Chain A
Amino acid sequence: MSLNPQNVCAAIQAAREQAIVVCTMSAMNAFDAAGPFPALTLSSVPLMGGAASIALGIALARPDRTVIVLDGDSSLLMELGGLANIAGSHPRNLHHFVYANRVQFNGNFCLDLPDRGRADFAGLARAAGYASAETWSDAADLAKLPASLKREGPCFIQLDMPATPSRLSAANPGPEMTDLRFTRMGDEARAVRAAIAPAR
């Protein structure tokens, strides 16, 4: 069975314990569809490319907490220099997962990535200086998640998965963006801060 946004998010939820999760795009949509948005979770939206660096800041601020970032391959390409920032700061508590579905706007209207599927994201993270980098491509790999989260970071895992079919078309044009899409990041950030920031 292949990986998909839903089975990855379910596995993360089962294994995360008190970890802080920063998500974006497909991962955020999967969490939204699964039910109440989980606690200690923050969406980088509408801010493609922002998740990994937000997670870096949290990981540096709270080295005692596990921090998980659920990134997209298109998002990562927008801020590829963030790999070097993470490698340079080397937070041992940061675990960087990338949904490698090889498209932009996954599930809405799938557009090819500029690399045309050639980029080796785990290889890029390894070359940047992450403590470890590997690729998972089968749902059975998710059984490795609890042990993986115990490893010393920064760890990078490329999650190869098929793209979700496009739902937008001439017959189903794009929807209006809700106000929530623009306010939720701040609300979720304040909620996470209230839960984890030491009292000053």
Chain B
Amino acid sequence: MNRPDLAYSVSAVEILKAYRQAGIDWVVTVPDLLQLAVHDRLSRGDSGLGYTACSNENQALQTAAGLWIGGHRPVVIMQNQGFYNCMNALRALGLDAGLPLLMAVGQFGREFSNLGHDPRTSRRKMVSLLEPTMDAFEMPYFRLESPADLPNVARAVSSAFDRPGPAALLIGHYTGWE
């Protein structure tokens, strides 16, 4: 397959491995097209991680907060438009309540010509506005733009759970199936 863009893909297996190594033990999901390979791995039931699917992103953040209260360290998978959908839950649970909320947010809709460039320069508002919106929420975020960025998984986990507060891992391209 001649898909030069796939050089920017990070393996779903490697992402899940990095989660486990950083102490993540549960994944709460709302579908993200960029993280389909991650969804696929989770649905097989052998990831070694708890797995709960939710109908929308508010519910996913709330469920993750409950899991943390019960002693777990969850990550919430969503895509960028889902992030825009859950700002009130993020404000309440992450900012006002100060609970750890780790989100893995896929940059859905990103044009391939923007890969390797600053996502803030994407011509798609859904992509370019994500980081400025997170800046407005005063929350840290860490880009996963290529396999070289895998150490950012542990940095994002630490930012969410050691501060604690909301933090995001920004998935820049389709996660890899291999």
- Measured CB to CB, the residues of A under 8 A from B are 22, 42, 44, 46-47, 49-50, 52-62, 79, 81-82, 84-85, 88-89, 182-183, 185-186, 189, 192-193, 196-198, 200
Known A-B contacts A50-B92, A85-B63, A88-B53; the reply to A57 vs B58 at CB < 8 A is no
CA distance A103 to B92 in the complex (A): 23
Please pick, from A47, A61, A198, the residue contacting B92 in the complex, using a CB distance under 8 A.
A47
CA distance A192 to B97 in the complex (A): 13
Closest to A83 in B: B55
Q: Return chain B residues, CB-CB under 8 Å to A81.
A: 54-56, 59
Known A-B contacts A82-B55, A85-B53; the reply to A62 vs B71 at CB < 8 A is yes
Given contacts A55-B66, A58-B67, A82-B55, 8 further A-B contacts (CB under 8 A): A56-B52, A56-B66, A58-B66, A60-B52, A189-B68, A189-B99, A193-B68, A193-B71
Known A-B contacts A60-B50, A81-B55; the reply to A197 vs B96 at CB < 8 A is no
Asked if A50 and B58 make an inter-chain contact with CB atoms under 8 angstroms apart, the answer reads yes
- Measured CB to CB, the residues of B under 8 A from A are 28, 50, 52-56, 58-60, 62-72, 74, 88-89, 92-93, 96-99
Can you list 10 A-B pairs with a CB-CB distance of less than 8 A? A22-B66, A47-B62, A50-B93, A53-B59, A57-B63, A59-B70, A89-B52, A185-B93, A186-B97, A196-B69
Q: Return chain B residues, CB-CB under 8 Å to A185.
A: 92-93, 96-97
CB distance from B63 to the nearest CB of A (A): 4
Known A-B contacts A47-B89, A183-B96, A185-B97; the reply to A61 vs B69 at CB < 8 A is yes
SS class of chain A's interface: helix, strand, loop or mixed?
Answer: helix
Asked if B96 and A61 make an inter-chain contact with CB atoms under 8 angstroms apart, the answer reads no
CA distance A155 to B156 in the complex (A): 37
Q: Which 8 A-B pairs have the closest CB atoms?
A: A57-B66, A61-B70, A81-B55, A186-B97, A197-B71, A53-B62, A47-B92, A57-B67
Known A-B contacts A79-B58, A186-B99; the reply to A57 vs B71 at CB < 8 A is no
